[in-house]
Structure 1
């Protein structure tokens, strides 16, 4: 059984489209299709339902998929383990990160690439649930996500920092670092927030509920860039993680006020799959996280 055919099979299951899967694998569609047919003939089972287009995996294909994912991951881990004996790692590091954690990606990038100059980094913006699913499916090597709310299972985690919130609105006077605002006052503003598929929004809703407050935002989005663009239009305000202040520092249109909070809302950290043996790339992610956390102790 060729690893190449297994890789095509796993990629097709992820992309759910023959042309996209072939492009992701760097081959032509006929090459991918013929390799899958050969794999099916070798197993004596039909793995993919198709009628001129991809329909889905058969029952046998769905049963085989997690084992194919594990086989490919084990092969990559074996290569990494041998490579690690000779020095820094090489290849692509795949990182999933929730939008709330994007401001810390620069620090992670600097730490990883300085310790492993032969590596490249691919960052994907994902929800916390997508990160856990992608780790389980061996589609990413590590994730940066929440650790305390809807806590991910079967992972090894290293906390990076504790999240706090700030209130951002349009302010011609460039109000910054002024008096704190309380949640009751925040809830009375015309708000734009992340949609409820994002864990940050679910955390925020839970926090407000504890104060007996509920909000109905005028607009929702899946990125803080979109929220900031809405705020700059002058009609709306938003709530976002304090870490985003570094990215909008010097933006004269932004009026920023800290929100009165007794304790940080949640810890954000790096997670990898809890597997043995641990892939050296996953171990490198944890090493980077520990170094970052030691440079900036958690609140």
Structure 2
């Protein structure tokens, strides 16, 4: 039954029998037969069939919720029993918004030191992607914004408040001031994250609140791409303080806070709200609670 539920989850995610079979490491006929057997066991049709995948039936959508819960609980049980025998081990899968990537090592390094058999996968994803990946059991946890978009039923651990800085080449006139305004920033040739990134939506919102709109000279979903262009030309970007600090270590970049008004947005760890947690996820949540740089008042 568990194997069939895992195949059903893969089909709902891929929306294609062939791709779902490839993800599960089985042939398409094997996957199709498993879905049909699951329908027979449950006594309902789960998938609208035709020449291609046409979506889940209403019953299928409900079964998908149960499937995610059952498969998640089964994985938790297996990991807990493995931890009893072998200690904490396995792979921890994280998805992180681009502006928080520079702080991930603050979480993974202490965990790796305490649990040398742990392995990590870290992906750069948008805030929307992170929620989708958690829902589909494709990652164990994410690092994203906690106060801008609805998160649903998740466990959250605040980590720090994102503050925004203008970042430009060292010696740039504006960066020698104690602070700059959003209106001043809007007049510069900017490199910004792409509009699908929540950071970009936040920046656009603060600019609009100050009567300013920008047409960036360059857009990218990579913070490294933004900063590399700032280093090579008379451009500037807007980054949270933690990202800015990482790229300022070379001394070639300067940063100055953007105020009037000063903007802060909470970033934290998000994980499925499912108890008991897997031993690996429990260790991650505890590490995040100890790490919290800027706990809410």
TM-score band, normalised by shorter chain: 0.7 to 0.9
Q: Secondary structure at the match of 2:176?
A: coil
Residue 26 and residue 117 in structure 1: after superposition, are their counterparts in 2 closer, same or farther (change >3 A)?
farther
CA distance in 2, matches of 1:158, 1:101: 14
Which residue of the partner structure matches residue 128 of structure 1?
127
Is the 2:168–2:175 contact (alpha carbons within 8 Å) kept by the matching residues of 1?
no
Instruction: Tell me by how many angstroms 1:71 deviates.
Output: 0.8
Which residue of the partner structure matches residue 176 of structure 2?
178
Which residue of the partner structure matches residue 69 of structure 2?
70
Q: Deviations over 1:73-93 (max 9, x none)?
A: 111122233344456323222
Q: Deviations over 1:122-164 (max 9, x none)?
A: 2222222332333344332211111232353432222222222
Q: Is 2:283 the counterpart of 1:281?
A: no
CA distance in 2, matches of 1:148, 1:242: 18
Q: Is 2:252 the counterpart of 1:259?
A: no
Q: Is 2:80 the counterpart of 1:99?
A: no
Residue 217 and residue 177 in structure 1: after superposition, are their counterparts in 2 closer, same or farther (change >3 A)?
closer
Q: Secondary structure at the match of 1:61?
A: helix
Q: TM-score, normalised by structure 2?
A: 0.84
CA distance in 2, matches of 1:158, 1:137: 21
CA distance in 1, matches of 2:282, 2:262: 31
Which residue of the partner structure matches residue 161 of structure 1?
160
CA distance in 2, matches of 1:81, 1:90: 10
Residue 35 and residue 154 in structure 1: after superposition, are their counterparts in 2 closer, same or farther (change >3 A)?
closer
Unaligned runs of 5+ in 2: none
Is the 2:166–2:255 contact (alpha carbons within 8 Å) kept by the matching residues of 1?
yes
Q: Deviations over 1:195-235 (max 9, x none)?
A: 33221122222323343333332333322133234434526
Q: Deviations over 1:237-291 (max 9, x none)?
A: 2111222235434557x54221243756122111223333334333222111123
Is the 1:176–1:256 contact (alpha carbons within 8 Å) kept by the matching residues of 2?
no
Q: Secondary structure at the match of 2:55?
A: strand
Matching of residues 227-266 of structure 1 within 5 Å: 227-232=226-231, 234=233, 236-249=235-248, 251=250, 254-261=252-259, 265-266=264-265
Q: Secondary structure at the match of 1:49?
A: coil
Q: Secondary structure at the match of 2:92?
A: strand
Across the two proteins, how many residue pairs are aligned to each other? 294
Q: Is 2:24 the counterpart of 1:25?
A: yes
Q: Secondary structure at the match of 2:54?
A: strand
Q: Is 2:137 the counterpart of 1:138?
A: yes
CA distance in 1, matches of 2:23, 2:173: 47
Is the 2:191–2:226 contact (alpha carbons within 8 Å) kept by the matching residues of 1?
yes
Which residue of the partner structure matches residue 187 of structure 2?
188
CA distance in 1, matches of 2:200, 2:117: 37
Is the 2:231–2:253 contact (alpha carbons within 8 Å) kept by the matching residues of 1?
no
Q: TM-score, normalised by structure 1?
A: 0.84
CA distance in 2, matches of 1:89, 1:48: 38
Unaligned runs of 5+ in 1: none
Is the 1:88–1:117 contact (alpha carbons within 8 Å) kept by the matching residues of 2?
no
Is the 2:166–2:258 contact (alpha carbons within 8 Å) kept by the matching residues of 1?
no
